Structure 1
Amino acid sequence: MDRTFDRLYEQYHQSIYQFIFYMVRDQNAAEELVQDVYIKVLGSYENFDGKSNEKTWLFSIAKHLAIDYIRKENRQKRKWLGTIVSNDKIDVHDPAPLPEEIALAKDEVRAVYEALGTCSIAHRQVLILRFIQSLSVKETAESLGWSESKVKTTQHRAIKQMRKILNTEEREEGSFETQSSRRRHRT
């Protein structure tokens, strides 16, 4: 079991942490919940029946722990703490971006993650698993215990909700699209 546990930890630790962090938006809570995931793995691996792969099994455990945490937080009426955006998550394709472009990219990433935080738990789960963790529709369905059809429908609705939130923010704060198009047309 030690080798199996070590392998699971090495292979999936970062992905599990990232998933939980995006769900609960609190670094300390995410670290504790990741530990809880692996405690559950230690206690129940012999009962793992192999109906899904280990990755989706781990994400399923992580999902349940994250939802339990969120419910607990909501009952206690505390706001989520922490920040979502870190400097190393910026994806700027220009090899020599201007400082204004870096600031704009940070703002765009921050806006996306703030919008993600306003989504329902179901929408957030699907968006994180599909687009941040790059799970397939089938793997996402297995992780969440849903049908593939439900994942597709929820994904569609979540994307629609994100667009609506981001478009509202753009109107309030100025257009990202106009600023982005200026950046693309720069020579």
Structure 2
Amino acid sequence: MTTPALPPSREQSRTTSTEESITAWALAARSGDPDALDLFVRALHRDVRRYVTYLGADPQSADDLTQDTFLRALGSLHRFEGRSSARTWLLSIARRAVVDSIRYSLSRPRLSDTDDWESAAERTQPRDLPGFDDGVALNELLDTLPNDRREAFVLTQLVGLPYAEAARLSDCPIGTVRSRVARARTSLVTWLDEAERRAPAPAAA
């Protein structure tokens, strides 16, 4: 006896509808619809910036890489046919933008032993000041992960891409993406637990 498939949940239906809308905007923008283009950019701008940041871009270059990603996308929008979601297509362009940026940086001659003295100076600043952004701490934890695990975690847990789309973007089996996410999550939980144990107990009021 075949077990009938469960109907999609309300959350899954909402996600599917959102992805279909974004892809439809991209296809309409390809035909010259300026309003659709604006909706497409607004819908994915935050995800693109988050993705390039967690791939290793420093905050100062993340904005440039985000802009570069959309410029590249607009230049090749006429080739987008909707075979994959517009989000997956755009993130693949973002990934290439980051790779190209890294290659360019490596080819540039270094003027000192420290390739980025501003970042080095920031790393020497105290991390326990009031108002310190928890997102920066998460960035630092993710930076300790291997590149493949970090990318899988960011795509699925932070950007919200389905595992199948993340697998297509990373050019690997879906099972590999699931394994990378599980290992990344285990590492992050372990490091957070260790950080909490090392943290000094709050003084009594």
How much identity, in percent, do the aligned residues show?
Answer: 24
Bigger radius of gyration among the two: 2
**Larger helix proportion of the pair:** 1
2: distance between equivalents of 1:154 and 1:65?
Answer: 23
Give the structure 2 partner of residue 44 of structure 1. 76
Query: What is residue 10 of structure 2 aligned with on the other side?
Result: none
**TM alignment of 1:14-25, pairs within 5 A:** 14-25=46-57
Q: How does 1:28-177 map to 2 (within 5 A)?
A: 28-74=60-106, 78=115, 110-163=136-189, 166=191, 170=194, 175-177=195-197
SS of the equivalent of 1:130 reads helix
- 1:10 matched residue in structure 2: 42
Taking CA–CA contacts closer than 8 Å with sequence separation of 6 or more, which of the two structures ends up with the larger relative contact order? 1
Measured on the aligned residues, the alpha-carbon RMSD in Å equals 3.5
Query: Structure 1: which 5+ runs fail to align?
Result: 84-99
- In the alignment of these two chains, the number of paired residues is 160
Structure 1 residues 158 and 75, CA, compared in 2 at 3 Å: closer, same or farther?
farther
1:10 counterpart letter in structure 2: R
> Gaps spanning 5+ residues in structure 2: where?
1-31, 123-127
**Could you tell me the TM-score, scaled by structure 2's length?**
0.62
In the TM superposition, residue 16 of structure 1 has moved relative to its aligned partner by: 0.8
Deviation per CA, 1:16-60: give whole Å up to 9, x if none: 112112223422311111111111111111111222110111111
8 Å CA contact 2:55, 2:150 repeated in 1: yes
* Contact 1:37/1:61 (8 A) holds in 2: yes
State the secondary structure of the residue aligned to 2:78.
helix
